[in-house]
Structure 1
Amino acid sequence: MYPGIHNFSEIGKLNKVLLHRPGEELESLTPATLERLLFDDIPYLKVAQEEHDRFAEVLRENGVEVIYYVDEVAKAIADPARQIQLVNDFLNISKIHAKGLRASMTSLLLDMPPKQMVTKMIAGIKRCEVATKQPTSLMDLVDDDYPFVSDPMPNLYFTRDPGACVGEGINIHRMHTPARKRESLLLKYMFLYNRDFATQDNKMWYDLSDSYSIEGGDVLVLSKDIVAVGLSERTTVSGAETFARNLLQNSDFKKVLAFDIPETRAFMHLDTVFTMVDYDKFTIHPEIEGPLSVYEMTLDEHGELRFGAIKEELKDILALELKLPAVDLIRCGGGDLMAAQREQWNDGSNTLCIAPGRVITYERNYVTNDLLAKHGLDVLTVPSAELSRGRGGPRCMSCPVNRDDL
């Protein structure tokens, strides 16, 4: 058992990780709801679960304690009063305001034991499950053909995004899209009320009530002094600045580096194109090296944020910031641009480092995996025919809670 949040690197031995095993929410995807729910395809749930179970098994085989979203939120709401509070917060963030519908959904959820209640919130609530017999407002009466009153959360198996454990604190993120906002609410309950997950001493660097979007795939803990943030399709400049200010003013971290990456679906988050895999090695998608701009945020003598642009090449910036003679950028797909594009689409750069030089990757990205092995890395592969349909790799599917210090 590793109580509390402690995470000062991307590569220290991973002790504890938060996952979500895909469930019924994937069965709610249809061609009509794919765009709304941020998927490009419909995964086959049975195989996706088998692949995810293998991912968890590889983690356990390497000494990692695996915890799951549903279990940890259920622990946080063991008190019936807490269950009522969560249901109210859940209905508010879901924008359920019609009195009859709200009462019906409240009854449905509170009649369930905690674990089942959390599972139902994730799976989605259908209109037919909460049909109101006597409407109390026009909103109760007006119907449409959309089957859900509360959308499923099919993206939750990418546990990296709703939050990020940084140092001895956590970000509870304001997600960029409505489809994912409720995921952060469940994490907030875990943080506030589950003392196995977070201790009283752990701090919050960002709250889902903050004004700007930021997502965990854009947050990388490079060292005990430096955190990197991607400015991406889903993390705003203001979100990165708010996080940097809260972190630097309330912790021992010294600097936040902002990486400005192209805003495209393929380059959704920083970790889809750039991850740290050893003390001096990084995976990178070759197409971001040219257009990448890097900025730094530090505190001045008055404790206020100071900003600067860094003009050097990425490998020189990383070597300088990490106090290394040089760093090795391992390009996804090798020198073959077509292989790089194909494997990056299936998250070839999205490696999860579980100890220095030991990484978990999708087995389908064989060009990049072979390259990683040639650079001296210990590559552990997992199957991903169905998991990869959600556009996220092993790093996306994991929220490290506790790592050894380097």
Structure 2
Amino acid sequence: MERHYVGSEIGQLKTVLLHRPRLSLERLTPSNCQELLFDDVLCVERAVEEHNQFAQLLRDQNINVLLLGELLTETLHDPQAREWLLSAQFSDYRLGPALAHPLREWLAELPAEQLSRYLTGGLTWQEVPEALLKQRIAASPHSPFITRPLPNHLFTRDTSCWIYQGVSINPMAKPARQRETDNLRAIYRWHPLFQSNDYINYYGNEERYYDHATLEGGDVLVIGNGAVLIGLSERTTAQGVEFLAASLFRHQQATRVILVELPKHRSCMHLDTVMTHLDHDTFSIYPEVIQPDMPCWVLTPDGKSGLIQHPPQPLVTVLEKVLAVTEIRFITTGGDIFEAEREQWNDANNVLTLRPGVVVGYDRNLRTNEKYDKAGITVLTIRGDELGRGRGGARCMSCPLERDDLEGNRP
């Protein structure tokens, strides 16, 4: 297998990581979906069917599809990985020593596939042997879960993001998603696919409390030519970006990090919900949030392990310079103001580019897809009536591991 490398947003996509939802979605209910960051419960069978269609479309395009659940199961065959993950997710401080120790011993004996299901889908009190429950000192639990499900694993883009020759394993902003990072840390550390490859860990792989220095992959666009475009959103903070940028520069993997400020609300929780890169000179944007002349800030290395923040410049000016094009085309979300708002909410701007000018998006976003087509962008459509209710599109649901740079090359 080729070395993991992501050199752009639009170069030929070679390998991608998805997560097929099942148990975690089955455990979404009207009483818990909001705290698990979903707006509603989904029809699980239909959501799984739609996700299978998405994965098959990618395979039909000769893209290697890896599934997070399968990688996690294979990782758990390693005793060291299993011990580390159980200690991280079922710690004494989370559950109390009286319960945590015997629970870890019981989980350690489970088949890898079953343990993988619990680590992604959550573990309920009813699923553990009754004898273990007697070890619990606290009163009857208010929640049916010992550990909550992780339905947002569906959005593999966020938990880790590959940037040129390395990966950031991201400290997530919301408690409902923070355990996802442990699963990715274990996969990247112990799975044979990654053990045998030489890559850089930029950020987030240390066992520490990251406090306000959070970062999520939906805000990170690897636009190529040594540049990375990052949104400061409700999930990605300036503190997190500072650490990532310093690491990128230290490892000589980027020359510029470009920052844009986003509103701090759910409808544009990440940069890729309002802006994605479609072709060498073409971006999709939601104009209520992204404007060509909006200010952006460029960070560069100061040569002494620090950062230089340059005065703000118009976004379009910076993009034209980075991409070496004379004019950037911006395709705005389709329809009138009401249709555009609805389609942005349904991830019309959150498309996954497979190669220059060819993207995957939801078929429900008719007006925006029509505008893409008229602009010469080919849209391969998938159904998203259920998946889209999780507030994520094809880009959100995919983490590229191998992608060519803007010139179709790799190091």
Q: Which category describes the TM-score, using the shorter chain as reference length?
A: over 0.9
Equivalence for 1:306: 308
Equivalence for 2:70: 71
**C-alpha distance in 1 between matches for 2:145 and 2:367:** 42
Deviation at 1:131, TM superposition (A): 6.2
**C-alpha distance in 2 between matches for 1:346 and 1:305:** 37
Counterpart residue type for residue 227 of structure 1? V
2:259·2:296 contact (CA, 8 Å) conserved in 1? yes
List per-residue Cα deviations over 1:308-334 (Å, max 9, x = no partner).
23232x323211221110110000125
2:103·2:132 contact (CA, 8 Å) conserved in 1? no
2:229·2:257 contact (CA, 8 Å) conserved in 1? yes
Deviation at 1:381, TM superposition (A): 0.2
- Structure 2 counterparts to residues 215-234 of structure 1, below 5 A: 215-234=216-235
Deviation at 1:192, TM superposition (A): 1.1
Deviation at 1:4, TM superposition (A): 3.6
Q: Secondary structure at the match of 1:286?
A: coil
**C-alpha distance in 2 between matches for 1:310 and 1:218:** 19
2:274·2:290 contact (CA, 8 Å) conserved in 1? no
Consecutive unaligned residues of structure 2, counting only runs of 5 or more, are none
Q: Does 1:141 align with 2:138?
A: yes
Deviation at 1:129, TM superposition (A): 2.3
2:155·2:392 contact (CA, 8 Å) conserved in 1? yes
Counterpart residue type for residue 204 of structure 1? N
Counterpart residue type for residue 255 of structure 1? R
Deviation at 1:77, TM superposition (A): 2.9
Q: Secondary structure at the match of 1:379?
A: strand
**C-alpha distance in 2 between matches for 1:225 and 1:216:** 17
Equivalence for 1:322: 323
List per-residue Cα deviations over 1:91-129 (Å, max 9, x = no partner).
23x952312321343134222222221111111111222
Equivalence for 2:104: 106
Equivalence for 2:275: 274
**C-alpha distance in 1 between matches for 2:157 and 2:77:** 25
Equivalence for 1:90: 89
1:281·1:327 contact (CA, 8 Å) conserved in 2? yes
**C-alpha distance in 2 between matches for 1:147 and 1:135:** 13
Q: Does 1:6 align with 2:8?
A: no
Q: Secondary structure at the match of 1:140?
A: coil
List per-residue Cα deviations over 1:1-42 (Å, max 9, x = no partner).
x34420010011100000000111101111111121000010
List per-residue Cα deviations over 1:349-397 (Å, max 9, x = no partner).
0010010100000000010001001000111000001000100000000
Greater CA deviation, 244-253 or 97-106? 97-106
RMSD across aligned positions (CA): 1.9
List per-residue Cα deviations over 1:58-88 (Å, max 9, x = no partner).
1001110000111112222322233122211
Equivalence for 1:60: 59
Counterpart residue type for residue 176 of structure 1? A
Question: Do the aligned partners of residues 196 and 337 (structure 1) sit closer, same or farther apart at CA in structure 2, a change above 3 Å counting?
Answer: same
Equivalence for 1:248: 249
Question: Do the aligned partners of residues 213 and 53 (structure 1) sit closer, same or farther apart at CA in structure 2, a change above 3 Å counting?
Answer: same
TM-score by length of 1: 0.94
**C-alpha distance in 1 between matches for 2:168 and 2:229:** 14
Greater CA deviation, 14-23 or 208-217? 208-217
Equivalence for 2:175: 178
Deviation at 1:198, TM superposition (A): 5.7
1:17·1:400 contact (CA, 8 Å) conserved in 2? yes
1:8·1:167 contact (CA, 8 Å) conserved in 2? yes
Greater CA deviation, 46-55 or 143-152? 143-152
Greater CA deviation, 70-79 or 58-67? 70-79
Equivalence for 2:260: 259
**C-alpha distance in 2 between matches for 1:187 and 1:330:** 34
- Structure 2 counterparts to residues 346-365 of structure 1, below 5 A: 346-365=346-365
Deviation at 1:184, TM superposition (A): 1.0
**C-alpha distance in 2 between matches for 1:14 and 1:197:** 18
Equivalence for 2:184: 187
1:261·1:292 contact (CA, 8 Å) conserved in 2? no
1:99·1:136 contact (CA, 8 Å) conserved in 2? no
Q: Secondary structure at the match of 1:294?
A: strand
Greater CA deviation, 95-104 or 174-183? 95-104
Equivalence for 1:115: 113
Equivalence for 2:21: 22
**C-alpha distance in 2 between matches for 1:87 and 1:6:** 30
Greater CA deviation, 71-80 or 343-352? 71-80
**C-alpha distance in 1 between matches for 2:132 and 2:172:** 35
TM-score by length of 2: 0.93
Deviation at 1:263, TM superposition (A): 0.7
1:135·1:141 contact (CA, 8 Å) conserved in 2? no
Counterpart residue type for residue 186 of structure 1? N
Consecutive unaligned residues of structure 1, counting only runs of 5 or more, are none
Q: Secondary structure at the match of 2:36?
A: coil
Equivalence for 2:290: 289
Identity of aligned residues (%): 36
Equivalence for 1:340: 340
Counterpart residue type for residue 125 of structure 2? R
**C-alpha distance in 1 between matches for 2:339 and 2:131:** 57
**C-alpha distance in 1 between matches for 2:153 and 2:29:** 17
Question: Do the aligned partners of residues 134 and 50 (structure 1) sit closer, same or farther apart at CA in structure 2, a change above 3 Å counting?
Answer: closer
Deviation at 1:168, TM superposition (A): 1.0
Deviation at 1:292, TM superposition (A): 4.5
Selected match of 1:154 from 141, 151, 166: 151
Equivalence for 2:201: 204
**C-alpha distance in 2 between matches for 1:194 and 1:224:** 30
1:361·1:382 contact (CA, 8 Å) conserved in 2? yes
**C-alpha distance in 1 between matches for 2:251 and 2:83:** 33
Deviation at 1:153, TM superposition (A): 0.4
